Amino acid sequence: MTKTARAHTNIALIKYWGKKDAALRIPLMSSLSMTLDAFYTDTTIEKATGSSDFYLNGKKQTPANSKRVFAYIKKLQQRFDLKEENLVVKSTNHVPTSAGLASSSSAFAALAAAFCAFYNINADKTQLSRLARIGSGSASRSIFGGFSIWQKGDSDETSYAYVLDEHPQMDLHLLAIELDTKQKKISSTRGMKDAQSSPFFKPWIARNESELKQMIAAIKNDDFTALGKLAELNANEMHAINLTAQPEFTYFEPDTIRAIKLIETLRDKGIECYYTIDAGPNIKVLCQLRNIKEIIENFESEFNNVKIVSASFGPGVTYSD
């Protein structure tokens, strides 16, 4: 028996950056994201005839690279009182390597859904979101399409995402800009932990509720300007706490700053666009349909070999067998 699920990646407009409970991945703040159509993960689970194996994009992974997947599966097997049997997990990331987008949100949402399908666990979307959250916090939001909110809650039962608007009509597009940078990766787990030493960490948490409310209002009012400004501010707050942690760290590379400057120049020219940045050096531009072409042209002339993928709203989890 084989079961397959598909989940799309999401980009947070109000970010999750800080854990209250690391093991259960209960966050210190609520977050809000946009699920993307252009990037997704397909994950299949089947019974193993021998050992447990994890394949990524058709390639069998080393035990070290499979550890997180099977530790997660073991946790779920224990949670549902299932026999700890061996499984073969095959994932394909339809995230163009050019996109520079982390795929843990789609990966663990697809894995949680494939797991429930495989074991005939009748999980509703709230439960699925809680299970995905245990694999990767951002995955809790990828269960849903459109705009979703992960309410922080304060326990495993109360920390899950829900849909704000599954089929938004808003003219909102995201350009994933892959800058040609090679940097040492600081995992989001490590970054979130270290960020707590910043003197601005408390204010960051304190602002969360009002920023979330403002973002919901921007979406309800179909106000692209308010959404873009706030998403940019929120991302910069997250990166400001990294820069003021003890010791400080940053995901920014010189090209990240160049990209920010280019966005400022475009705005000065009347091309409205905003940026958001996650735990890496790449920039995602938020814009409207009419400006996509000009923004891409400007990035292509400013950066050599830049790769740009355009995305808009994607769906929630789906199953194919």
Which stretches of the chain are assigned E, i.e. beta strand? Answer: 2-14, 19-21, 26-27, 31-47, 53-56, 59-60, 87-94, 147-151, 160-165, 173-178, 274-276, 283-287, 307-311, 318-319
Per the CB < 8 A criterion, the answer to whether 145 and 37 are in contact is no
CB of residue 51 to ligand PMV, shortest distance in Å: 27
Per the CB < 8 A criterion, the answer to whether 278 and 11 are in contact is yes
Q: How many whole angstroms separate alpha carbon 1 and alpha carbon 245?
A: 49
12's tokens: 């947070």
CB of residue 95 to ligand PMV, shortest distance in Å: 13
Which stretches of 72-114 are assigned E, i.e. beta strand? Answer: 87-94
Q: Which of residues 215-234 bind ligand PMV (CB under 6 A)?
A: none
Q: Which span sits near ligand PMV by CB under 6 A: 11-19, 91-99, 167-175, 307-315?
A: 11-19
Q: Rule CB under 6 A: is residue 188 a binding residue for ligand PMV?
A: yes
Q: Which span sits near ligand PMV by CB under 6 A: 15-23, 91-99, 167-175, 304-312?
A: 15-23
30/298 with CB nearer ligand PMV: 30
3-class secondary-structure state, position 93: strand
Q: Which of residues 127-156 bind ligand PMV (CB under 6 A)?
A: 136-138
Tell which residue, 72, 77, 75, 76, has the closest CA to residue 91. 72
Q: Which of residues 101-130 bind ligand PMV (CB under 6 A)?
A: 102, 104-105
CB of residue 33 to ligand PMV, shortest distance in Å: 6
CB of residue 68 to ligand PMV, shortest distance in Å: 11
Q: Which span sits near ligand PMV by CB under 6 A: 10-18, 158-166, 239-247, 310-318?
A: 10-18
88/277 with CB nearer ligand PMV: 277
| Member of 4, 30, 31, 44 binding ligand PMV (CB under 6 A) | 31
Q: Rule CB under 6 A: is residue 242 a binding residue for ligand PMV?
A: no
Q: Rule CB under 6 A: is residue 87 a binding residue for ligand PMV?
A: no
| Residue 23, amino acid | A
Query: How many residues in the shown chain lie near ligand PMV by CB under 6 A?
Result: 14
CB of residue 297 to ligand PMV, shortest distance in Å: 28
Our CA angle for 284, 234, 269, nearest 5°, is 55
| DSSP calls for 128-196 | HHHHHHHH-GGGGGGGSSSEEEEE--SSTTT-EEEEEESS-----EEEEEE-----PPPPHHHHHHHHT
Tell which residue, 95, 279, 253, has the closest CA to residue 182. 253
| Member of 5, 9, 16, 128 binding ligand PMV (CB under 6 A) | 16
The binding site for ligand PMV (CB under 6 A) comprises 12, 15-17, 31, 102, 104-105, 136-138, 188, 278-279
